[in-house]
Amino acid sequence: MHGVLSVFCDYLIDPAYDWVEICDSCFGDTPSQICLPWNTTRHVQDYEGNPARRALTFEELQRFFNHADSKVEAAVAQGRKGALAASRDAQMFKTAYAFGLRRAELRGLDLADLHFNAKAPPWGRYAVLHVRWGKASKGSTPKRRTVLLVPELAWWIEGMRQWVEQGRALFPAGELAMMWPTERGSRVSLEYIDRRFTALRRELGLDPALKLHCLRHFYVTHLIEYGYADRFVQEQVGHQHASTTSIYTSVSGDFKNRILADALRRFTTPEGS
């Protein structure tokens, strides 16, 4: 609202128009800008458009998830400790991508954050994720949002169900509600999430610029390519401004070529044919 008022006031006092003279003549007063830095709300969310951050390619994402899964298989085959933690980490990273989550949002998940969706009954309690630790504006509490699982990412359910119903229960009780427990019964730390992602990325020889946050970029890119409305994507990832969501979007050349082809078809196809 502040932005709308500010633009309107700028229009009224712009010397290119005659509104100042007209108002002075008709009302004996002249308009002025009333939206000033000291009486308006600033956009205080951190800028998330670091040029080093990019969406992974499909190949990179598949290699990353396959490598995370291979850690579980290797630990089981060798009969050594670590298979359970590797299973947790693999599913944790898949969840970050399947719902476009930030680190703190991922870490803060509890079992109670899994919910049903009346529009997708076959998915059971794995159809909706309640995010309670969303990024906060300065001076405010963490923002909450509800993220829907989209059909294109329903492959996530099988692994998550196995983790929740089998793997997670093998960790010490600790805080019973937490989604990603450790062997000590505590939540995984943000530092641990970063370390594990970095370790897997290095083992694969992927671009050092790729961080966990890049999974979120890839999520936004995919929703756009799947054809979801911009507003839906913005709500899914919890962006206050559509411009922030646009920073995340790096659609593929193939997607853009399809859009162009559709547009050309509309212009070149005779009406009624």
Write out the chain's pLDDT in tens, 273 residues: 566 777 788 888 888 788 888 888 898 888 888 877 656 655 444 445 565 667 788 899 999 999 999 999 999 888 778 899 999 999 999 999 999 999 999 999 999 999 999 999 999 999 999 999 998 877 678 899 999 999 999 999 999 999 999 999 898 866 668 999 998 889 999 999 999 999 999 999 999 999 999 999 899 988 988 888 888 999 999 987 766 666 666 555 555 556 556 656 766 666 655
Residue 53 backbone dihedrals phi, psi, to 5 degrees? -85, 130
Residues 6+ apart with CB under 8 A from 52: 209
According to the model, what pLDDT value does residue 16 have?
78
Identify the CATH class of 61-206. Answer: mainly alpha
Residues 6+ apart with CB under 8 A from 163: 87, 88, 91
Whole-prediction pTM value?
A: 0.74
Cα separation, 39 vs 14, in Å, equals 21
According to the model, what pLDDT value does residue 199 have?
97
On whether the CB atoms of residues 129 and 113 are closer than 8 A, the answer is: yes
Cα separation, 83 vs 265, in Å, equals 53
On whether the CB atoms of residues 226 and 150 are closer than 8 A, the answer is: yes
According to the model, what pLDDT value does residue 44 have?
45
Sign of the dihedral defined by the CA atoms of residues 208, 212, 214, 219, in that order: positive
On whether the CB atoms of residues 9 and 31 are closer than 8 A, the answer is: yes
Sign of the dihedral defined by the CA atoms of residues 107, 201, 67, 154, in that order: positive
Burial class (CB in 10 A: 0-12, 13-18, 19+), 234: buried
Cα separation, 153 vs 145, in Å, equals 19
On whether the CB atoms of residues 92 and 77 are closer than 8 A, the answer is: no
H or E segment to which residue 72 belongs: helix 58-78
Closest CA to 201 of 35, 94, 68: 68
Residue 162 corresponds to which tokens in the numbers above? 């196995």
Q: Where are the domains of the chain?
A: 1-42, 61-206
Closest CA to 91 of 68, 61, 59: 68
Sign of the dihedral defined by the CA atoms of residues 191, 159, 216, 231, in that order: negative
According to the model, what pLDDT value does residue 187 have?
92
Round the CA-based radius of gyration of the chain to a whole number and report it: 24
